Amino acid sequence: MNTHLTILTGHSRGLGLAMAQQLLEAGHTVLGISRQRATGLTEAAPAASGELIEWQADLADGAPVAQQLKAWLQARADMPWQAVSLINNAGMIATIAPLSKSDPADLARALRVGLETPMQLCAAFLQATADWRAARKIMNISSGLGRRAMASQSAYCAAKAGMDHFTRCMALDEAHQPQGARVCSVSPGVIATDMQLQLRSAPAQDFPDRAGFVGLHAQGQLSSPEAAARRLLACLARADYGQEPVSDARG
C-alpha cells in the first residue's frame, strides 16, 4: 500500500488540483475534499500513481465534515502509513466590495470556508491521529493578505490573518505533546487561479487595488498552479518543516 496519506481540501481546481496531481504522482493516498469531484484527475495520473479518495462536501458547513474525518481516521489507526498530512487549501473571497456594502451571509460563508472549517479539520485531525506513530504534519495555505490589509478584502484578509494566528497557537499546543504534529501556515504567493481572475474583474470603483492585480497578470508575474504546488510540497517535505509556524513559499 501507499505509505503516505494526505488529506487535501479544495482539490478539484487551481492550486489544489495541481497539488493533488503531484501527490498522486508521488504515490500518496489522497483524500480530496471539495464541493465538486476533480474531473479527469485519476485519468491524468500515471498508472503507478497513488490512490485518490474523494468526498463531496460544502466546506461552509465544516462541523459534519470534521466529524466524518475524525471517524474515518480513527477507523484507520492500524494502517501502516509512515506519514499523514492535512493540507487546508480551500478558500474563497466574498463579493469584492467595501465592508459597508457587504452582505452578511456572504461574509459568513467566506469566513467559514477560510477560517472556521480549517480550525475544525485541524482539531479533528489532531485528535484522531494523536497516538499514531506516523509523522504528522498540517499545512494551512495562507496568503500575503493575511499579513497586510487591503481595501474591499475584509473577509479574506481576516480569514488568512486568523489562519496564521491559530496556526501559531496550534504550534504551541503541539510543542507540549510527546509526538506533536508539525504545523505551518504558508503563503504561496500570487498564482494564476480563478481567484486572481475575480480580483482583476472586480469593479474598479469598489476595488482600489484592481489595477495592481491587472498589472501582475499583464507582466507575467503570476506563478502557475503547478509551480506553486511544487514549492509548497517541497516545503512540506523539508526536514525542518514547522520550525516556524508561519512562513512563505513564494518563488
Residue 209 lies in a domain: no
State the pLDDT at residue 48.
46
State the pLDDT at residue 41.
77
Residue 198 lies in a domain: no
Residue 219 lies in a domain: no
The CATH number of residue 35's host domain is 3.40.50.720
pLDDT in tens, the chain (251 residues): 679 999 999 999 999 999 999 999 999 999 999 999 988 776 555 554 789 999 999 999 999 999 999 999 999 999 999 999 999 999 998 889 999 999 999 999 999 999 999 999 999 999 999 999 999 999 999 999 899 998 999 999 999 999 999 999 999 999 999 999 999 999 998 876 677 667 776 777 767 767 667 666 677 666 789 999 999 999 999 999 999 999 998 75
State the pLDDT at residue 212.
67
State the pLDDT at residue 192.
64
Residue 204 lies in a domain: no
Residue 20 lies in a domain: yes
Those residues whose C-beta lies under 8 Å from the C-beta of residue 205, and which sit 6 or more positions away, are none
Helix axes 154-175, 117-129, angle to 10 degrees: 20
> How many Å apart are CA 126 and CA 36, to the nearest integer?
26
Residue 213 lies in a domain: no
Residue 200 lies in a domain: no
Q: Which residues of 36-61 are buried (b: 16+ CB within 10 A; e: fewer)?
A: eebeebeeebeeebbebebbebebbe
Residue 196 lies in a domain: no
State the pLDDT at residue 45.
53
Helices of type H across the chain: 14-25, 41-44, 62-74, 104-111, 117-129, 154-175, 194-201, 210-218, 225-237
> How many Å apart are CA 201 and CA 190, to the nearest integer?
16
> How many Å apart are CA 23 and CA 19, to the nearest integer?
6
State the pLDDT at residue 198.
75
Backbone angles phi, psi at 56, to 5 degrees: -95, 120
SS3 146: helix
Number of domains in the chain: 1
Residue 108: domain span: 4-189+224-248
